[in-house]
Chains A and B, each alone.
Chain A
Amino acid sequence: MIFIFSNMVSLDYFLTLSIILFSIGVIGVLIRRNAIIIFMSIELMLNSVNLSLISFSSFMGDSQGQILVFFVMAVAAAEAAVGLAIIIALFRNKETINIDEINILKW
């Protein structure tokens, strides 16, 4: 199956897939109400960006895009740890992670 990926699929397909995944992530952030699911949607956005970076990098024969992907993965892991810790801290005080019920702060 290697030959399919080597020369037949153009860059457009990868970018289209990346944009579709990014949009799914954005919509997920906007319509879901559970903090963990919102966070998973954000991770989906980051991974779709990784896909587009890798495809640009691969088609241009340049390694910088892939280097950024490594950093994005590492940073996303750190962000996940911090974010989940914040969610746990909130859950201990508030017993909910539904962002509609997290509404003390408003003007």
Chain B
Amino acid sequence: MFADYGQILVFMLFAIAFVAIAFFVALFLAPKKPSYSKESTYECGEDTEGETWVRFNVRYYVVALIFIIFDVEVVFLFPWAVVFKELGLFAFVEMAVFLIILILGFVYVLAKGDLQWDKPQPVIPELKRQIFKVDSN
């Protein structure tokens, strides 16, 4: 029984060895010419500004929460699609009812205006709680 895991072990050893060899080869062969732009934090070519731990606009969270729900509900479509041909019209009606209820939820979100981005008064991200203590002098 455990002998079968031997294959996995050999596979893992090869994987580790391959990565290690690649690293060491790179370490010895690669040229090293550090410069300011190479050492800086990568942020799409711009200089980094401010702390990394800023608070994001709360609308991102709203969209994320809505996304979670509508994303996962799609899981019911997969088993439905597999048996759709055998069950025919019945399955179609069932899924139509399900999707209509799901779309009603989406209509609610739209009507509430939770997905609108062009609201006035942008919220400037501000760090109320200091992560590092900053001396005022």
A residues apposed to B, CB below 8 Å? 1, 4, 8, 66-67, 70, 73-74, 76-78, 80-81, 84-85, 88, 95
Contacts and interface: CB of A to CB of B under 8 A. Distances in A.
Given A4-B4, A70-B79, A95-B129, A78 B69 contact: yes
A54 to B, nearest CB: 13
B103 interface: no
B93 interface: no
Contacts of A88: 58, 61
A1 B71 CA distance: 31
Contact of B72 (A1, A74, A95): A74
B101 to A, nearest CB: 12
Interface residues of B, number: 18
Most-contacted residue by chain B among A4, A66, A81 (CB, 10 A): A81
B4 A81 contact: no
User: Max chain A CB contacts within 10 Å: which of B72, B76, B79, B129?
Assistant: B72
A8 B64 CA distance: 42
A80 B76 CA distance: 18
20 contacts: A1-B7, A4-B7, A8-B4, A67-B79, A70-B75, A70-B79, A73-B72, A73-B75, A74-B72, A74-B73, A74-B75, A76-B72, A77-B72, A78-B69, A81-B66, A81-B68, A84-B61, A84-B64, A85-B65, A95-B128
A76 B72 CA distance: 9
A95 B131 CA distance: 13
Interface string B48-75: 0000000000100100111011011101
